């Protein structure tokens, strides 16, 4: 993704990181491109607080925006009206089709002509290729059943349990629990939105060159240029 950014935008640009979490992708971009800027957008106050604590503003090159993607009006919180591009990793599968459609329409406006969208995410094949989905999940099972070399890493669950014990995150967790309450919380749609729908919505939003540029079964990076 970073090579593609360089090939398309050079080394001086301002991009959005959509569903940035604590900013792992933003940090990599800012490390590699010392004159780039990133606006990181996420709805989780805990992850934003962790990101702000870990990265700060990287010398004024990183803004943190708390907003719910796909909501009408999220754009109003952004510090600028135009960006050179938007990137995202493992986040947009949280959005159902109507929100995704609103988001892409907004990106059609926010991303300048010639700018790019790069989305690395779980993007399933559509209904025409169910057989491939079955092969993909079988491969995933095989991979996860193999012993991994090296020390055991934290899991999603142990990371969240550890974070919850930190007193400095208590107030952020209170807001997190309100937003992500199990009864009406923000959660990914039951069936992830397929690649075809992403491509269709990008086309509708005015993006022209759209292609999968990296793939491992349903994990893909989709590229689109406006």
Ligand X SMILES: C[S@@+](CC[C@H](N)C(=O)[O-])C[C@H]1O[C@@H](n2cnc3c(N)ncnc32)[C@H](O)[C@@H]1O
Binding site for ligand X (CB under 6 A): 19-21, 24-25, 42-44, 47, 68-70, 89-91, 94-95, 186
Cβ-closest position to ligand X = 21
Q: Give the count of alpha carbons within 13 A of 219, CB side only.
A: 6
Closest CB 188 distance from ligand X, rounded Å:
8
Q: Is 134 or 189 the residue whose CB approaches ligand X more closely?
A: 189
Alpha helices in 111-194 (DSSP H): 130-145, 156-164, 170-179
Q: Rounded distance, CA 188 to CA 108, Å?
A: 23
Closest CB 83 distance from ligand X, rounded Å:
16
Q: Is 146 or 187 the residue whose CB approaches ligand X more closely?
A: 187
Closest CB 97 distance from ligand X, rounded Å:
13
Q: Rounded distance, CA 202 to CA 128, Å?
A: 20
- Which phi and psi angles does 74 have, rounded to 5°? -60, -30
Closest CB 208 distance from ligand X, rounded Å:
25
- The edge-to-edge listing of strands for the beta sheet with 83-89 is 62-66, 37-42, 14-18, 83-89, 111-122, 219-225, 209-216
Six-digit token string for 226: 């406006």
Q: Is 25 or 116 the residue whose CB approaches ligand X more closely?
A: 25
Contact of 13 with 36, CB cutoff 8 Å: yes
Q: Is 160 or 170 the residue whose CB approaches ligand X more closely?
A: 160
Q: Rounded distance, CA 209 to CA 226, Å?
A: 7
Q: Rounded distance, CA 154 to CA 159, Å?
A: 6
Closest CB 47 distance from ligand X, rounded Å:
5
Report the Cα 214 to chain-centroid distance in Å: 16
Q: Is 70 or 115 the residue whose CB approaches ligand X more closely?
A: 70
The residue written with tokens 């629990």 in the block is: 177
Question: What 3-state class would DSSP assign to 42?
Answer: strand
Q: Is 68 or 112 the residue whose CB approaches ligand X more closely?
A: 68
């Amino acid at each position: 993704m970073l090579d593609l950014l360089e090939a398309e935008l050079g080394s001086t640009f301002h991009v959005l990181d959509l569903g940035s979490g604590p900013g792992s992708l933003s940090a990599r971009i800012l490390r590699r491109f010392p004159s780039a800027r990133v606006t990181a957008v996420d709805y989780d106050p805990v992850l934003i607080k962790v990101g702000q604590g870990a990265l700060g503003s990287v010398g004024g090159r990183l803004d943190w925006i708390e907003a719910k993607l796909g909501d009408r009006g999220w754009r109003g919180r952004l510090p600028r009206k135009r960006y050179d591009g938007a990137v995202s990793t493992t986040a947009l599968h949280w959005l159902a089709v109507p929100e995704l459609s609103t988001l892409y329409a907004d990106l059609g406006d926010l991303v300048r002509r010639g700018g790019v969208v790069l989305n690395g995410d779980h993007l399933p094949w559509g209904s025409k290729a169910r057989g491939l989905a079955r092969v993909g999940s079988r491969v995933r099972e095989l991979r996860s059943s193999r012993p991994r070399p090296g020390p055991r890493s934290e899991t999603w669950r142990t990371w969240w349990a550890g974070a919850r014990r930190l007193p400095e995150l208590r107030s952020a967790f209170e807001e997190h629990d309100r937003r992500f309450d199990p009864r009406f919380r923000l959660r990914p749609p039951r069936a992830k939105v397929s690649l075809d729908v992403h491509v269709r919505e990008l086309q509708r939003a005015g993006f022209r060159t759209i292609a999968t540029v990296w793939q491992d079964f349903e994990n893909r990076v989709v590229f689109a240029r406006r």
